[in-house]
Amino acid sequence: MWLDTNIKKNLGLLNILQVWSSFCIINRTVKRNPRILIADDNKELCNCLTDLLELEEYDVTAVYDGNQAIEAVRKDEFAIVLMDVKMPGLNGVEATRILKEIAPRLPVVLISAFADEELHRDGLQTTDFEIIQKPIDIHRLLQRLKQIP
């Protein structure tokens, strides 16, 4: 009898936890902020940006080169990509060119320590991107991310 009563109590508690867990998952899905892909070979910067953006309740994926960024976009949907310009292997300009073929409407924000915006525009042969200079102005970045539909 005692065992039977405790099992029923535990099953009841388990059911309550399952319902609460489902509610939290549904609630989080409804309120989820846009998914952001960060591509930068500087892992410390990726970790810092990821932590900051997750505190702002964004869903963040970080990768460390252009090829990984392309694969991530092929696998998942992102609202925006933050892409470093200078990376080993496939750099940010080349990766952005390919990303625009895969997902033409995907906004890309290039992150660069170099101020020559015209050079990057020539490399991409498009004006459909933005540049944020390093060191990153976090306030400007967060303002830009709030503009995502």
Query: What pLDDT is stored for residue 20 in this prediction?
Result: 46
Number of domains in the chain: 2
Regarding whether 27 and 38 lie in a shared domain, the answer is no
User: How confident is the model over 135-146, as pLDDT tens digits?
Assistant: 999 999 999 999
Element holding 39 (H helix, E strand): strand 35-39
pTM value is: 0.74
Asked if residue 57 has pLDDT above 90, the reply is yes
Tokens 């953006």 map to which residue?
53
* Full domain range(s) for residue 67: 34-146
Region 52-78: mean pLDDT is 96
Regarding whether 87 and 67 lie in a shared domain, the answer is yes
Query: What pLDDT is stored for residue 148 in this prediction?
Result: 84
Region 90-95: mean pLDDT is 90
Asked if residue 112 has pLDDT above 50, the reply is yes
As beta bridge partners, residue 132 has 111
Query: What pLDDT is stored for residue 125 in this prediction?
Result: 58
